[in-house]
Structure 1
Amino acid sequence: MSDPRKLHVIIEDVPKEKKRWISAAILIPALVAVFTSLGTFHFSSENLRQSGENLTTNLEAQRVKFEAEQSYLSAELKALQAHRERELSLAEGDIVRDVVQRLNESTDFEAQRRAIHLIASIAGVPRAVETEAYYRSGATIRALQDMARNDIGSLEDDKVIRKIIDDALAQVPMAVFIDSSHNNNVYCTASKSLGRTNIDDIYPILRDLPLRFISERVFEDQFASSDAEILIAQIIKAKPGLIVMHHGAFEGSPFDKQAGLGEETISAFLEPIFKAYEPSVVIYSRTSGFVTDAQDWFVRLGKIGPYFLKLSAFVQKDTGKSDPENNRDCFASKMPNGMRIRQAVENALVVNESYRFGLKD
């Protein structure tokens, strides 16, 4: 009988083949799972790659279709724009032709002036300048001068436009008018009370003539020899074809006293101008015997200038009844002074043009 306190342990060796089969039984399912997963991953990757290629192909097709549609729409838009521009061009052309016709038919100063501005706003400044050159008048020239005074801007295109206007104005004859409001130089009583000069009353009766007007007002209490030299230099630089001056324009000024008074002052002013170039000159005065007096300067310079005229202005009798304010005949367009000075300026223009084209020596 065995001893109950002893424990018998029996150890049984497990065969080596048994252990390998157990490991394989564990490993094979794992490998199957792995290969199954790899197969699934490969299938998914292939599907994803194929899907990506299909997406790329679809996107490319969509892009090509989009570009084709955009190209078509762009062509359609250009065609519509071209059609619209042609319609606008035709409409503008009709309007411009209508304006030009009215410009040709109208003799109204403001209507002609507005016509050039309207053509510029519709068809552009170059077209307006071309039209102005053909229908040139005092009104159309004033329209160009309005444009020249406008602040067009600093862009290159604007510089070109400004040059077009300046070149057009450079072809317009220029006249400088010189006078002062000193003493009784001003013919119109109302103008004298307002501090105006005769130029202010002469301009309205000449504004329709094809001229550029330069107004030079002499301030009798300040105009000295140095001021005369500046004005002479400005005239020589601008070379106006016509100088219209009141015989008493320098009366009472320091220049008049320094130059020798009266006729010597006129001579001192005109001599350097005639040495530089040969303008036409009109000098008007209400002085009795002004036209018949043959001053040396007039005889000498009159032989040089294309047109040299001493014009006797009309002296109105002060009756105190018909025109007590002396505003009717000082330079009214249909009264003696107005008619005389207009005729003189028109004659000077004709003579200057004749000299310019070589019709006279």
Structure 2
Amino acid sequence: MKIYLYPSEAAEKRVAAIIDRGLSYTRKDYQDVARMLDDVKKNGDKAVIRYTNRFDAPSLTAGQLEVTDREIKAARKLVDRAFIGALDRAASQIETFHQHQVTNSWIQADRLGVLLGQMVNPVDAAGVYVPGAKGGETPLVSSVLMGGIPAKIAGVKTIAMVTPPTRNGSINPHLLVAAQKAGIHKIYKAGSAWAIAALAYGTETIPKVNVIVGPGNIYVTLAKKIVAGTVGIDMIAGPSEILVIADRSANPEYIAADLLSQAEHDPLASAILITDQKEIAQAVKAAVAEQLDTLQRSEIAKESIQKYGGIMIVPNLTIAIELANRFAPEHLELQVENPFDFV
């Protein structure tokens, strides 16, 4: 991970490259995704299974698309107590946060014969997309919780989850246990653009939903972009980003782990450290190099760091905040002694 002195010409060039990268896709990408969506719309389960067999699980059949109660029960026996403890804590924190976001209906009758107001009701069905990479290699438990729990709090009647199966046609047990914790009602073994199409249009097995939420790669993002309007979506998300501002009180090992947690998502991901301490910069650089070797997706993380990562050494934390505001990152961490001084 390269270290830059900011401000400088080299640092400014790096900053510009990261900020300007945007959501990059080709005309072929768009056409390929549009073709997949149309295929699923016309051919239903047959198309979903064709793509799933080609990219994820070669032997999966239409009859195995929906996860069974038996599979969920078996999953509970495959996760350890430490995971259950972490899951319970995370779910509790996410639920507490989203409880504060609940919007209430209201009616105003200030004038005789005139009623003004807003009725806030949940949709009937929501779809939660949970990334897993090709063959379900990188299951994201956090996406299960962050997609499912808000829908449960809102009172959505049917919450369906789609996620890529592994090569043997199964779903990572941690995802299944998390889905049950999040209040998800149905789980389907499908990923990428064809899963979004199934949720948007419906198939023989996967029912149509009203809203689709959840992160994904460029193909998932393009699919959501195309079906927006047919169904509601949460947003058109760009590549993953994390920016850490750190002072001398920060732990370099923790910083490195957090940077890599986003860098491994996608070659377009951005992982940036801004610090006013040369020693922290050098320690984090060393920690990133060491931890990279332990990642299953180390090649992706290395590529994203090489293209869009960096460590910026700034004169002081005020400049660090100004620089962070230029990036406007998806994830921002203040690993400093007095974080509320900068909020």
TM-score range, shorter chain: under 0.3
For normalisation by structure 2, the TM-score amounts to: 0.24
> Which protein has greater RCO, CA pairs closer than 8 Å, 6+ apart?
2
Give the number of the structure whose residues are more often strand, by fraction: 2
For normalisation by structure 1, the TM-score amounts to: 0.23
Give the number of the structure whose residues are more often helix, by fraction: 1
